[in-house]
């Protein structure tokens, strides 16, 4: 069976990694009627938006993006489109606050399985549309943090301006530019030259995208089906670079490396969405790499479902199948060089 959407009526306090409760609620504000949640209909795409590389965007783009995030932060705190409410979506889906509809004993967890890529794609999709609607610009597209290429291997500067709505003080203060990201970061800074770190990163990208991910299960992660307990096994990219970049950005002086270093708080840092746009981009690239590198055809994956508020504040149900083609969702990624393709170890 596919994984059903969450049972919103039983949303409860989420748990921190040590099992204690998250000190605030991550549950979303609910519509009056939960019995009739419509299935989302993809709008017709007239023009495909281009998500730009974060290190290459113009001042004009930064101004637009900042103003959209500022507006989102200024919405009423109980508005489902408010920035904190959007961040709490990640908490609710990842820290056992939700149970699967029809399986009251099964917590939902969208990491560590084949749900990882499609959940985050839908999450960014609505986040991006909400930002676009707040600034009345339906061409607005999120930037991606292009850390798989040398030019993007630092924290993108647009996120590092104190007082900008894109800034978050809860980060590792030693990892601002010119520090080079370590895509395999655990908790200790590498004692290596920038050039060595760059080469390591490209080698890791080759390994995670090619050598270690020749088929869907290795790339996306293991199947999880409705009613099964979560944490089935993650795919290559979810581990490295995804988890590593979360840890690398998070503040090591906080107990769980908040914000980016732990699920419940990660999406409070605006850089989260640029990180995930790049992870999402990896999905689009992986499918072009040949061999058996294609989407699952398993109905249990395709029919698994999630719930989100769209930009009109309508709570909608979305299915994995409707997100596997990013151009049908109305966006693609700016074409930039992909140096790791030639980095066979
Ligand atoms: Cu849902 Cu980057 O984690």
Confidence at residue 96, expressed as pLDDT on a 0 to 100 scale: 86
Closest ligand 1 atom to residue 111 Cα is: 1
The Å distance, Cα 9 to ligand 1 centre, comes to: 24
Closest ligand 1 atom to residue 276 Cα is: 2
Catalytic residue of the set 83, 112, 119, 120: 120
The Å distance, Cα 119 to ligand 1 centre, comes to: 9
Q: How many angstroms separate the CA atoms of 51 and 100, rounded?
A: 32
Closest CA to 267 of 285, 280, 249, 281: 249
Provide the percentage of residues in the chain whose pLDDT is more than 90. Answer: 97
Provide the percentage of residues in the chain whose pLDDT is more than 70. Answer: 100
The stretch 287-305 carries a mean pLDDT of 98
The stretch 282-311 carries a mean pLDDT of 98
Q: Is residue 275 annotated as a catalytic residue, yes or no?
A: no
Closest CA to 308 of 95, 48, 118, 64: 118
Residues 6+ apart with CB under 8 A from 18: none
pLDDT in tens, 214-245: 999 999 999 999 999 999 999 999 999 999 99
Catalytic residue of the set 55, 83, 111, 112: 111
Catalytic residue of the set 116, 242, 272, 296: 242
Catalytic residue of the set 83, 116, 263, 343: 263
Closest CA to 202 of 216, 182, 185, 187: 182
Tokens of 116: 């990882």
Q: Is residue 55 annotated as a catalytic residue, yes or no?
A: no
The Å distance, Cα 263 to ligand 1 centre, comes to: 7
> By alpha-carbon position, which residue is closest to atom 3 of ligand 1?
263
The stretch 286-306 carries a mean pLDDT of 98
Closest ligand 1 atom to residue 120 Cα is: 1
For residues 333 and 281, is the Cβ–Cβ distance under 8 A?
Answer: yes
pLDDT band at 158 (very low <50, low <70, confident <90, very high): very high
Q: Is residue 242 annotated as a catalytic residue, yes or no?
A: yes
The Å distance, Cα 243 to ligand 1 centre, comes to: 8
For residues 80 and 313, is the Cβ–Cβ distance under 8 A?
Answer: yes
Confidence at residue 101, expressed as pLDDT on a 0 to 100 scale: 97
Is the pLDDT confidence value at 337 over 90?
yes
Catalytic residue of the set 55, 83, 90, 175: 90
Q: Is residue 185 annotated as a catalytic residue, yes or no?
A: no
Sign of the dihedral defined by the CA atoms of residues 158, 161, 166, 172, in that order: positive
Confidence at residue 156, expressed as pLDDT on a 0 to 100 scale: 98
ipTM attached to this prediction = 0.99
Determine the 3-state secondary structure of 297 from DSSP: coil
The stretch 259-270 carries a mean pLDDT of 98
pLDDT in tens, 25-58: 999 999 988 989 999 999 999 999 999 999 999 9
Is the pLDDT confidence value at 344 over 90?
no
Q: Is residue 90 annotated as a catalytic residue, yes or no?
A: yes
Q: Is residue 276 annotated as a catalytic residue, yes or no?
A: yes
Q: What lines the ligand 1 site, CB under 6 Å?
A: 90, 94, 111, 120, 242, 246, 266, 276
pLDDT band at 181 (very low <50, low <70, confident <90, very high): very high
Confidence at residue 345, expressed as pLDDT on a 0 to 100 scale: 77
Q: Is residue 175 annotated as a catalytic residue, yes or no?
A: no
The secondary structure of 100-162 as a DSSP string is ETTEEEEE---SSSTTHHHHHHHHHHHHHHHHHHHTT-TT----B--TTSGGG-S--GGG--T
Confidence at residue 95, expressed as pLDDT on a 0 to 100 scale: 87
pLDDT in tens, 63-91: 999 999 999 999 999 999 999 999 999 99
């Amino acid at each position: 069976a596919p994984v059903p959407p969450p049972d919103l009526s039983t949303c409860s306090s989420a748990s921190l990694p040590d099992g204690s409760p998250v000190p605030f609620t991550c549950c979303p504000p609910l519509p009056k009627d939960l019995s009739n949640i419509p299935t989302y209909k993809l709008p017709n795409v007239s023009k495909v938006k281009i998500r730009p590389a974060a290190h290459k965007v113009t001042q004009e783009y930064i101004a637009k993006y900042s103003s959209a995030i500022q507006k989102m932060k200024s919405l009423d705190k109980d508005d489902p489109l408010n920035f904190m409410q959007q961040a709490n979506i990640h908490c609710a889906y990842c820290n056992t606050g939700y149970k699967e509809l029809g399986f009251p004993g099964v917590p939902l967890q969208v990491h560590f399985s084949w749900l990882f890529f499609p959940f985050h794609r839908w999450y960014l999709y609505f986040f991006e549309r909400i930002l676009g609607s707040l600034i009345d610009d339906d061409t607005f597209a999120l930037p991606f943090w292009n850390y798989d290429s040398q030019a993007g291997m630092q924290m993108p500067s647009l996120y590092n301006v104190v007082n900008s709505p894109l800034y978050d003080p809860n980060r590792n203060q030693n990892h601002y530019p010119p520090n080079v990201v370590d895509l395999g970061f655990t908790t200790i800074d590498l004692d290596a030259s920038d050039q060595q770190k760059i080469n390591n990163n490209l080698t890791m990208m080759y390994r995670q995208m090619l050598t270690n991910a020749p088929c869907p299960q290795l790339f996306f992660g293991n199947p999880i089906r409705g009613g099964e307990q979560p944490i089935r096994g993650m795919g290559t990219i979810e581990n490295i670079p995804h988890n590593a970049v979360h840890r690398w950005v998070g503040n090591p002086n906080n107990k769980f490396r908040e914000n980016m270093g732990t699920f419940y708080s990660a999406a409070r840092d605006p850089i989260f969405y640029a990180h995930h746009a790049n992870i999402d981009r990896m999905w689009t690239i992986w499918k072009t790499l040949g061999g058996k590198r294609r989407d699952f055809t398993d109905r249990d994956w395709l029919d698994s479902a999630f719930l989100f508020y769209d930009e009109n504040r309508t709570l909608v149900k979305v299915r994995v199948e409707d997100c596997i083609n990013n151009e049908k969702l109305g966006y693609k990624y700016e074409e930039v060089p992909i140096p790791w393709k030639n980095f066979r170890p």
